[in-house]
Structure 1
Amino acid sequence: MAKISGVDIRPGNILEYEKGIWKVAKTQHTQPGKGGAFMQVEMKNLIDGRKTNVRFRSADTVEKVRLDTKDFQYLYAEGDDLVFMDKDNFEQITLPRDLLGDAADFLQDGMDVVLELWEERPVSVELPAQIEATIVEADAVVKGQTASSSYKPAILDNGVRVMVPPHISSGTRIVVDVYERTYVGKAD
């Protein structure tokens, strides 16, 4: 583990703080008129899911944790649990759906994912940043709408709702950003 200064914390960092393992969600650097600069950090505990906001001054140091990563393949859902298979030894592991958060909506059978492990314990699952999905329902284009600024709602084959450009219709395969839940472009 490496110690880093409080102002060097970035989103995505994994930190050891108050005997827990935390993933940094957001940071905001603040330089008040009086006093020293500080970093306002929003973090989520990877073990119990709690969220917290902490102020770190530049003089504060915190342990940056390195997680082990391992390749897994998503197999199927079983109630609120998800079953994954280790791609090396074919052992299966069952994890709670809420470990993935909203990204779980984008899981597809056979999808390759990366499990992040802390002391051999899975703490997070990383999906590919973008996936392809088919639009099953899209609103009709309203005549007179300008194509440059207006997006319309569409529902994907996995039930997720995204905003798409007016020329995209039902049945079109598109590329979607998994973590932002946004339209990226048409699939090839």
Structure 2
Amino acid sequence: MSLYFSGSLKIGNKILITKKPYEVLHREFVKPGKGQAFVRLKLRDLLKGKLFFKTFKSTDSFLLADITVIDVIYLYKETDGLSWVFMNKKTFNHLSVHKEKLFGADKWLFNNIQCSMTLWNNIPILVRISNFIDLEVQDVELSVKGDTINFSSKLVKLVTGTKIRVPLFIQKGDFIKIDTRQGIYISRSVV
């Protein structure tokens, strides 16, 4: 493992703090007129997904975390309802991931969708889905035609089982583009 000083850290570095992996999202080096230089970091806890700021002396050192990111394909959900199975695209090995490691991506998973999986010491800790995906509308809530004063959107159920609000012109069988980070409708898709 490589040793990094906080003064030489870069955005995207994965480091160990108290034996847990963190990703550096933002770095600010501060050299005050008086006193020792310090580094203010914005970090993401890779095990819990939480963001926070932390300040370190410029001489503090960190070990580089053994983090790898692989491309995987979603296969199926286990019968226990708590685990999802993915296949590594290069080795074809199957990896089972607990729901808490999906961080909300389970709402958008359907067969054969490509994702990226973060491994720490070859153990899955995070699954990320593309920011924008196209999904088919499976069911549409009934709405009163012409009633745009009270409702300018309607609720639809997607093939993944997730329900979201869309404009009134969306029909059953349409494909729509969704922002998976916010869980909102973007546009109608041409598939």
Amino acid in the other structure paired with 2:164: V
2:184 corresponds to 1:182: yes
Larger radius of gyration: 2
Question: 1:56 corresponds to which residue?
Answer: 55
2:95 counterpart SS class:
strand
Using the TM superposition, give the Cα deviation of residue 23 of structure 1 relative to its aligned residue in structure 2, in angstroms. Answer: 4.6
Question: 1:44 corresponds to which residue?
Answer: 45
Using the TM superposition, give the Cα deviation of residue 84 of structure 1 relative to its aligned residue in structure 2, in angstroms. Answer: 1.3
Q: Do the aligned residues in 2 keep the contact of 1:16 with 1:62 (CA within 8 Å)?
A: no
Using the TM superposition, give the Cα deviation of residue 106 of structure 1 relative to its aligned residue in structure 2, in angstroms. Answer: 0.8
Question: 1:32 corresponds to which residue?
Answer: none
2:110 corresponds to 1:108: yes
Counterpart CA distance in 2 for 1:100 and 1:68 is: 16
How many residue pairs were aligned?
Answer: 176
Question: Structure 1 stretch 51-60 or stretch 66-75: which is displaced more?
Answer: 51-60
Using the TM superposition, give the Cα deviation of residue 158 of structure 1 relative to its aligned residue in structure 2, in angstroms. Answer: 1.7
CA 1:182–1:144 in structure 2 vs 1: closer, same or farther (change >3 Å)?
closer
2:72 counterpart SS class:
strand
Counterpart CA distance in 1 for 2:60 and 2:184 is: 36
Question: 1:33 corresponds to which residue?
Answer: none
1:145 counterpart SS class:
coil
Q: Percent identity?
A: 20
* Runs of at least 5 residues in structure 2 that lack an aligned partner in the other structure: 29-36
Q: Do the aligned residues in 1 keep the contact of 2:103 with 2:126 (CA within 8 Å)?
A: no
Q: Do the aligned residues in 2 keep the contact of 1:42 with 1:54 (CA within 8 Å)?
A: yes
* Runs of at least 5 residues in structure 1 that lack an aligned partner in the other structure: 30-35
- Choose from 125, 133, 136 the match for 1:134: 136
> C-alpha deviations, 1:56-99, integer Å up to 9, x for none?
26858675757322222211110211111122222212111221
